[in-house]
Structure 1
Amino acid sequence: MCDLCLSAVLGKIRSAVGSAQLLMSQKFQQFRELCEENLNPNAHPRPISQDLAGFWDMLQLSIENISLKFDELHQLKANNWNPLTPPEIQERRMPPPVPKKPLKGHHPPLARDRSLESSERQRLEARKRLLAAKRAASVRQSSATESADSIEIYIPEAQTRL
Structure 2
Amino acid sequence: MNGRTFLSKLDDEEKIIKSKADAYNKLVQTDDNRLNEDVRTDINAVIGEVNLLLRGKLKQFRGLCERNVEKSNANEPIPLDSDLEGFWDITYPLIDKVKEKFAKLDQRKAKQWAPIEEYDPHDVNNRPRVVDDRLKQLQPQQNKSSKIPTTKASNDDLKKLIQERRKAAANTTNQNHDVEIFVAHK
Normalised TM-score (structure 2): 0.42
Normalised TM-score (structure 1): 0.47
